[in-house]
Amino acid sequence: MSTHSVAEAKSRLSALIDRALGGEAVVITRHGHAVVELKPVAKQSPRRLTDADIEWLDSQRVGKKMRLKHAGKLVSKMRDEDERK
């Protein structure tokens, strides 16, 4: 584990991020006390769209309401409406 002051972290942030991505515990201190630990963000796999997602998108549409069950059709219809304007 390496510790670095805020001032040092500001000047070496890119290198500290690389070290954290490499698996090293990197801690940033303020007035001698640990306040932040840099660590990689866990990768998230994209989730599939559900009917509830499509219904929410449809409910947020300003103007004419569309009742479509397929996301591709909804996006195509929205794009086509924008092109006509």
Q: Mean pLDDT over residues 24-51, rounded? A: 92
**pLDDT band for position 84 (cuts 50, 70, 90):** low
Please choose, from the candidates 73, 71, 37, 78, the residue with its C-alpha nearest in 3D space to the C-alpha of residue 54.
71
> How many domains does the chain divide into?
2
What local confidence, expressed as pLDDT, does residue 80 receive? 81
77 neighbors 68 (Cβ within 8 angstroms)? yes
Instruction: Give me the domain span that covers residue 15.
Output: 2-38
Q: Residue 46 falls within a domain, yes or no? A: no
Confidence check: pLDDT of 39 > 80: yes
If asked whether residues 30 and 57 sit together in one domain, one would say no
Q: Residue 44 falls within a domain, yes or no? A: no
Handedness of CA 51, 52, 53, 58 (dihedral sign): positive
What local confidence, expressed as pLDDT, does residue 83 receive? 67
Q: Mean pLDDT over residues 26-43, rounded? A: 94
Token pair of 60 as six digits: 């947020």
Look over the chain and give the mean of its residue pLDDT values, rounded to a whole number: 86
